[in-house]
A = this chain, B = another copy of it.
Amino acid sequence: MAEYELQCFAQSGNAYKVALMLELSQASWTPVWVDFFNGATRDPEFRSEENEMGEIPVLRHGETRLTQSAVILEYLSQQLGTFGWENEEERREILRWLFWDNHKLTSYVATLRYMRAMVKTGETDVTRFFEGRAIAALKVLDQRLADTDFLVGNRPTIADLSVCGYLFWPEEIGVDFGPYSNVNAWLERIKALPHWVAPYDLMPGHPLPTPA
């Protein structure tokens, strides 16, 4: 039996952040597919038993149940001894990028991709608004990576594994990453890490069934 059980689905970048951490660390883990697109996370039983926030990922490790990708990443870095910090200042700097990712990058990029690639709303005032916010965040990230190979401490940490979570899908996001050459070079460095696997190959549920 695997040590870690990750509730996830292939299209979730937030779940990918954790799956990538587990895979890069060569942990003993197994994915458990959650039927997000048919409302599994809105189910009252899911909310009472798994996550009142109604979100994926959920990690189970023995009796411990954890949610919020960043909290799980922090936990795993300590459990597995990988991709963590070396001192308190680094720990805070990693945490700072984890919050920035959740608030300013993923919150816009993930929603934009969801509208364009999953709901297929077409171009609307809402997609244009989210695209503006997504591009502002990509600029901050590109600037940060101008003279460092990774976000914190010049080596890969959970900050990188979180921030990259949605960025291997530029076509689905529908934003040209061309101008962000530092971001692109950094994504290549992450892809070159031993045991890297792309999101759709790492978690179950891809491709989505074609509607009848």
Q: Please list the residues of chain A having a beta carbon within 8 angstroms of any beta carbon in chain B.
A: 47, 52-55, 66-68, 70-71, 74-75, 92, 95-96, 98-100, 102-104, 106-107, 124-126, 129, 140, 143-144
Task: State whether A99 and B102 are in contact (beta carbons under 8 Å apart), knowing that A53-B140, A143-B52 are contacts in the complex.
Answer: yes
> Is the CB–CB distance between B99 and A70 below 8 Å?
yes
Shortest A162–chain B CB gap in Å is 10
List 20 additional contacts besides A71-B92, A98-B99, A125-B125; criterion CB under 8 Å.
A47-B143, A52-B140, A52-B144, A53-B104, A55-B104, A66-B92, A66-B96, A67-B96, A68-B96, A68-B100, A71-B95, A71-B96, A71-B99, A74-B92, A74-B95, A99-B99, A102-B102, A107-B107, A125-B126, A126-B126
Closest B residue to A106 by beta carbon equals B103
| A100 neighbours in B (Cβ, 8 Å) | 53, 68
| A70 neighbours in B (Cβ, 8 Å) | 95, 99
| A66 neighbours in B (Cβ, 8 Å) | 92, 96
Shortest A127–chain B CB gap in Å is 10
| A126 neighbours in B (Cβ, 8 Å) | 125-126, 129
| A53 neighbours in B (Cβ, 8 Å) | 100, 104, 140
